[in-house]
Chain A
Amino acid sequence: MSAPECAVRNGRWRDRLVDVFIARGHIVDLLPADPSRDLGHLDCIDAHGALLLPGLIDAHTHLREPGQEYKEDIASGLQAAAQGGFSHIMCMANTDPVNDCAPVTEFQLHKASATHPHGPFLHPVGALSKGLSGKELAPFFELAEAGCVALSNDGIPVADNHLFRRAVEYSTGPGLPVIDHCEDPGFSAHGVVNEGLISDALGLPGQPSIAEAMQVSRDILVARYLQIPIHLAHISTRESVELIARAKQDGVPVTAETCPHYLLWDQECVRGYNTLAKVNPPLRTRDDVLSLRQAVSEGVIDILVTDHAPHADFEKDAPFAQAPNGISGLDTALSLTWSLILDQILGIKDLCRLWSFAPASLFSLPVNEFCAGSPADICIFNPDDSWTVQAKDLASKGKNTPSMGQRLSGRVQAMMVQGRLVYARE
């Protein structure tokens, strides 16, 4: 075992105070905290009793580069990731040009390593179809070789069942998991809010909740028929949860994700044409929120993701139907999740599972289980540090979050990736 090079002192891990010793980017030892311990020459970070969490993994983010750097670029997105406690993030392919070929993937990886050589680390998700057109498969082997870790048509769901089936089959060649945007595009009919009370009141086209469930049903049938795993993106409705729970009981190889915003906020946030709460899938009913909370705590939903979708202020400052979909999520994800712990919906173990262990396992990324040999990806999180969300405090260029101006409990104090400090709050 290598001699320790640095340490995190006095951090709380599983209800006890510990000192964590690190060498060559990995944890080499974990000992009960001892203030009298002489750490000699070691570089030390004192956590002052704050929680230690494994580095979070966001399997669903949008970084906008190449093409829309005014919304976000890879440098600002990774900075937001560091500030949010993330050590690895996966970026979706709906850039301009679309990430459907090796040069785009390589460009993104180059920009990431040039701006954040020590992490957080970027893992591109390749397009499922060329140009996200839903008509022709993208070159999966080429994308895998360039560094993509998964495939998805996120943003523009694949309506063609045959093409989707072929994509799922072909993805097994390079061994990349398929992430599906669960929306039947014919049935969602360009709805911009949840169909029902809110669409009626605001006179906006509604997106029926079962537009999502229809695509979830399709995906479950395909996964069962082919016996190939499919990962279901940003689940938002009770109907979907019920279908996924039943499929899992039947042994169908599907996994699913949801986002903090679907666990916290319902369609009422949209009243007054609040474009900061405009997101796709739309915020649903309170009943859907309660169903998702239960599904997350019971493991029906496997992982949490941000679906970080940054937009410029001037784009969101528009009449509702003309504003783009999306909530900026990297900076606030952990604080929002902490509110679920305060509400006793989740425990800290659930948080570690949903944000780190499970996504690492699903997408074959490094997992930190806080034992000797684990990568030293450590988020130091102070649950007692409450803060009011202000634009100036978000590292993302996207300030588009319904939590703007809200007081949140708990904040990332520092972030370490592979033993290096990549963020420390001043």
Chain B
Amino acid sequence: MKIMEGYYYTKEHEWISVKGNVGTIGISDYAQHALGDIVFVDLPEEEESFDRGEAFGAIESVKAASDTYLPVGGTVIEINESLEDEPGLINVDCYENWIVKIEIADLSELDELMDSAEYEAHISEEE
């Protein structure tokens, strides 16, 4: 199970990497494995704003739909449109194939998230 050093994680298995006040968000390797073959990614619109923990879209495999939540509040500045035609890219590499980039509203909300070591412990509990 691939976990990225320096990234933040949520209990719902999203990851966020941060440069300045821009956050890049995707789902973790654990999540893409659990979902299986991903066949649809429901993306938000650019310039939409969401609070921390709010559902901004969904990832769907053949068998199930899973909401995706924003790890920290912010405004969508870019969506990964390639996922509209090739949602399975997330199965190929869930870190390369991010879902949205946001402008983070409050960087202090990052403190509430797990670092890679804490996340590793979290998924070993779930397994």
Q: Do A and B actually bind?
A: no
Tell me the B residues contacting A by CB distance below 8 Å.
none
List the interface of chain A (C-beta within 8 A of B): none
